[in-house]
Chains A and B, each alone.
Chain A
Amino acid sequence: MKKRLALILLAGFASTLFLASPASAHGEKSQEAFLRMRSIAWTDVQFAGGTVKDGEIYLPQGQKMTLQGTARLMDTWPDTLAAGLPRIGYINIATQGPCVEMLARTINGVSAPGRIEITKGNFYHFEMTLMGRRPGRWHIHPAFAVKGAGTVLGPGQWVHVERTSAGFSSPVTLYDGKKINMENYGLNVVWGFQIVGFLLGMVWILYWTAGKRNPDGSPKGILGGKRTVTNPAVTLQIPLNDDGVAVGLNSKRDHRAVNIIAIATAIFLLIGWVYQASAYPVKIPQQVVQFEPPKTDFDTAPTLAKVDAQAAKYDRDSRQMVIEVATTNVSDSPIDLQEFTTSTLTFAASHGSAIAPGYYLHDMKVSPSGSIQPGQTTKLTLTIDGNSFVEEHLVPTSESQLTVAGLLAFKDSAGKRSFAEIEEPLRPNYHD
């Protein structure tokens, strides 16, 4: 019986070893589809730099790459997130720790090391410069964190950071012109101070716990020579505010010893304080950078089209998504639908163009296919292969809100782009 039990336990343990695979994603598909579609739409996301092989980027340690794109904080932002009013955001990357280093980040053209003030319906064009740091294969996403809501991830890209013989360093120039390597700067102060402090503590503890004693209880060496396990027989018979000197538990020698160690510790702290004051005379508190980025061209561009989504159907058998949108050209030149973007996915019209990492860029069929003339209202039917929706967990057939939301991008004859949001209840077919 015991052998069987042991075998079962062993088999269970072994199965976890064989079946477990390394985590390679960040849970970006785990969030509910309607929340992702209604919160942030990612467009024009591009990774550049390094060498591209089979759709993956190879980047030597210390070399730079850029990640740029535009995130639209949707007007359809759900009430359940940040009480429906996103106010503070932070654009970053999501990846497996510090495998790349952030060197620069601009949002709407302005350098943005910290948080930003955000408004629903606005676009945030980001450009981040990253440097390969930790060798390995990493999955990197742009990420838009919103205070009170959480983090929404954009389209990801596999990046191989390749080890170089020179290793990695991260140079920064201080206010006084001194160049430092952030990888190890200040560690000698940290370790030196921590270790000396630890040794002082060890001296204190060893004094009380180690050392030999004479038969009369007096210590043989410089240490206290005390016992511990047998002391309660005595300590429980004397008052708590009695240090036991009278009965020989402690002695004046012990008092002298603790005085000496305490004075040594005070001198140690004093030396440390004088050192930091002279070695680092200029110090400032940690900085909190927060500002409202200027508007992008997309925010200020004249509207080209007014849209009214009228139907969104999803066929579970063929995995086909069909969205019908009544579109009115409100500009003075012909316009074309270029793309439909929802969450991380971008669908390009057959005659349109769109930018997104390959895995996230797909085609869609738009009918009728011609341009929409000024003042004309046309019912556009968008037919989309829903496999990518399924892979990205963006078909909310079993969620509490059956809805589809996203951005339509139109372009006029002069090449100007304009975006319009749609949101429409999804009608999946549930027949067997």
Chain B
Amino acid sequence: MADTGTLEQDQQLQQLRALVNKQYKYIDRKWDAVFWISAAFIVGAAANITLLLFAGDWDFWTDWKDRVWWPILTPFALVIIGSALQYIQWLAWRFPTGMTYTGICMWFLSTIGRWLQWGNFVWYPLNFVWGTTMVPAGIFADWVLMKSKSFIITSVLGSAVFAFAWWVSNYVMIAPYLQPAQWMDRVLTVSDIQGIAYIRSQTPEYLRIVEHGTLRSFLGETQYVSIVFGMTVTIAGYWIGQFIGRMLAIWPIGRFMKKW
């Protein structure tokens, strides 16, 4: 009986292998290119809208990119659409590409947006309004999925690695703007000066939600507490993305296919 079972399994494997390499007459590689390129706009826009919804100002201005709220909210917001894409692309193609794909689409589109809208139309200097990047963090999250083949492990380990790598990669870019300077009789960071000098008429300074100080100072190491907390909420964000991928994308498509 065991031999019969193994034989059936081997036959099934051979059938699947043949299916993998089957030559299709009309569905060729050009369709792949059409899909990847056209989906880039939808994916990039969805990721950017989600980011703006949850972490808008933190992603917009250097003087909002602080060490307490920025590392919590931004990876949480970024991981949502990346997670959905990760599920869809793994389910359909077994590609560990969803997070990286989301990252490059969003970065490309949002960078054009910053340059065109905020740089050319409104004249904010781009060094004040540059957007975050999730590409290096996405590569690590996809790598964890490829290695673990498990969405549960990816949600815990991959999300944590994602949030940490996101912080490292973006901290390098904010570093020049955290240098102190004497300005208006105060010691301020370059990013603070940018926030005051470049007029934002409808964003009074008191709306800026950055580190205000707290008695729960954790020996002054609030940054590390925020990073760890950011890793935790990113896990939650990952499962929101999984819900979007499974219930709002794949499940309705399945229902549609069954019906028609």
Q: A residues near B, CB below 8 A?
A: 26, 88-90, 92-95, 97-105, 111-115, 133-134, 143, 145, 147, 151, 170, 172-175, 180, 182-187, 189-190, 193-194, 197-198, 200-202, 204-205, 208-209, 215-217, 226-235, 237-238, 240-244, 246-250, 254-255, 258-259, 261-262, 265-266, 268-269, 272-273, 275-276, 279-280, 282-290
Q: List 10 A-B contacts (CB under 8 A).
A: A97-B201, A111-B185, A112-B184, A151-B204, A172-B181, A234-B20, A243-B146, A244-B94, A273-B171, A279-B175
Q: A93-B201, A265-B136, A269-B136 are in contact. Are A283 and B186 (CB under 8 A)?
A: no
Kindly provide the distance from the CB of B224 to the nearest chain A CB, expressed in whole angstroms: 13
Which of B16, B23, B96 contacts A234, CB < 8 Å? B16
B192/A113 in contact, CB under 8 A: yes
B197/A247 in contact, CB under 8 A: no
B126, closest chain A residue (CB): A187
B198/A268 in contact, CB under 8 A: no
Chain A contacts for B211, CB-based, 8 A: 285-286, 288
Among B48-56, B72-80, B97-105, B233-241, the stretch that binds chain A is B97-105
Given A208-B95, A249-B20, A266-B140, 12 more contacts at CB 8 Å? Answer: A94-B202, A113-B196, A200-B136, A204-B139, A204-B142, A233-B19, A234-B20, A243-B149, A244-B94, A246-B13, A258-B96, A276-B171
B139, closest chain A residue (CB): A265
The A-contacting residues of B in range 184-239, CB under 8 angstroms, are: 184-194, 196-199, 201-202, 204-208, 210-213
Residue among A90, A249, A287 with most chain B CB within 10 A: A287
The A-contacting residues of B in range 152-187, CB under 8 angstroms, are: 165, 168-169, 171-173, 175-187
How far is it, in angstroms, between the C-alpha of A187 and the C-alpha of B126 when the chains are bound? 8
Chain B contacts for A133, CB-based, 8 A: 123
B150, closest chain A residue (CB): A241
How far is it, in angstroms, between the C-alpha of A46 and the C-alpha of B210 when the chains are bound? 34
Interface size of B by Cβ–Cβ distance < 8 Å? 96
Kindly provide the distance from the CB of A383 to the nearest chain B CB, expressed in whole angstroms: 36
Q: B residues near A, CB below 8 A?
A: 13, 16-17, 19-24, 27, 29, 31-32, 35-36, 63-67, 90-97, 100-101, 103-104, 107-108, 111, 122-127, 130, 133, 135-136, 138-140, 142-143, 146-147, 149-151, 165, 168-169, 171-173, 175-194, 196-199, 201-202, 204-208, 210-213
B180/A284 in contact, CB under 8 A: yes
Q: A93-B199, A95-B201, A227-B29 are in contact. Are A247 and B20 (CB under 8 A)?
A: yes
B179/A283 in contact, CB under 8 A: yes
Kindly provide the distance from the CB of A425 to the nearest chain B CB, expressed in whole angstroms: 32
B125/A182 in contact, CB under 8 A: yes
Kindly provide the distance from the CB of A156 to the nearest chain B CB, expressed in whole angstroms: 12
Kindly provide the distance from the CB of B35 to the nearest chain A CB, expressed in whole angstroms: 6
How far is it, in angstroms, between the C-alpha of A380 and the C-alpha of B160 when the chains are bound? 73
A275, closest chain B residue (CB): B172
Q: A280-B178, A284-B189 are in contact. Are A98 and B199 (CB under 8 A)?
A: yes
How far is it, in angstroms, between the C-alpha of A208 and the C-alpha of B100 when the chains are bound? 11
Chain A contacts for B17, CB-based, 8 A: 217, 247-248
How far is it, in angstroms, between the C-alpha of A38 and the C-alpha of B100 when the chains are bound? 54
B16/A247 in contact, CB under 8 A: yes
Majority SS at the chain B contact face: helix
B97/A204 in contact, CB under 8 A: yes
B127/A187 in contact, CB under 8 A: yes
B20, closest chain A residue (CB): A248
Which of A112, A145, A276 contacts B172, CB < 8 Å? A276
B196/A269 in contact, CB under 8 A: no
Q: A249-B20, A282-B179 are in contact. Are A147 and B199 (CB under 8 A)?
A: no
Kindly provide the distance from the CB of B209 to the nearest chain A CB, expressed in whole angstroms: 10
A286/B192 in contact, CB under 8 A: yes
A97/B190 in contact, CB under 8 A: no
How far is it, in angstroms, between the C-alpha of A104 and the C-alpha of B196 when the chains are bound? 9
B16, closest chain A residue (CB): A247
How far is it, in angstroms, between the C-alpha of A147 and the C-alpha of B187 when the chains are bound? 24
Q: A115-B205, A180-B190, A272-B169 are in contact. Are A201 and B63 (CB under 8 A)?
A: no
B177, closest chain A residue (CB): A186
Q: A103-B197, A113-B183, A173-B182 are in contact. Are A205 and B100 (CB under 8 A)?
A: yes
Kindly provide the distance from the CB of A351 to the nearest chain B CB, expressed in whole angstroms: 38
How far is it, in angstroms, between the C-alpha of A197 and the C-alpha of B66 when the chains are bound? 22
How far is it, in angstroms, between the C-alpha of A26 and the C-alpha of B201 when the chains are bound? 9
B108, closest chain A residue (CB): A198
Kindly provide the distance from the CB of A322 to the nearest chain B CB, expressed in whole angstroms: 36
Q: A226-B95, A258-B143 are in contact. Are A88 and B20 (CB under 8 A)?
A: no
A238, closest chain B residue (CB): B16
B204/A234 in contact, CB under 8 A: no
Chain A contacts for B169, CB-based, 8 A: 193, 197, 269, 272
B201/A94 in contact, CB under 8 A: yes
A189/B173 in contact, CB under 8 A: yes
A288/B210 in contact, CB under 8 A: yes
A276/B175 in contact, CB under 8 A: yes
Query: Which 5 residue pairs spanning A and B have beta carbons closest together?
Result: A186-B176, A145-B204, A283-B178, A201-B135, A276-B175
Which of B19, B32, B123 contacts A98, CB < 8 Å? B123
B178/A228 in contact, CB under 8 A: no
Chain A contacts for B63, CB-based, 8 A: 286
How far is it, in angstroms, between the C-alpha of A183 and the C-alpha of B96 when the chains are bound? 40
How far is it, in angstroms, between the C-alpha of A269 and the C-alpha of B161 when the chains are bound? 13
Kindly provide the distance from the CB of B116 to the nearest chain A CB, expressed in whole angstroms: 14
Kindly provide the distance from the CB of A265 to the nearest chain B CB, expressed in whole angstroms: 5
Chain B contacts for A113, CB-based, 8 A: 183-184, 186, 188, 192, 196
Kindly provide the distance from the CB of B138 to the nearest chain A CB, expressed in whole angstroms: 7
Residue among B21, B142, B199, B202 with most chain A CB within 10 A: B199
A208/B97 in contact, CB under 8 A: yes
Kindly provide the distance from the CB of A178 to the nearest chain B CB, expressed in whole angstroms: 9
Q: A249-B94, A262-B140 are in contact. Are A92 and B124 (CB under 8 A)?
A: no
A175, closest chain B residue (CB): B180
Q: A174-B181, A283-B179 are in contact. Are A111 and B206 (CB under 8 A)?
A: no
Chain A contacts for B108, CB-based, 8 A: 198
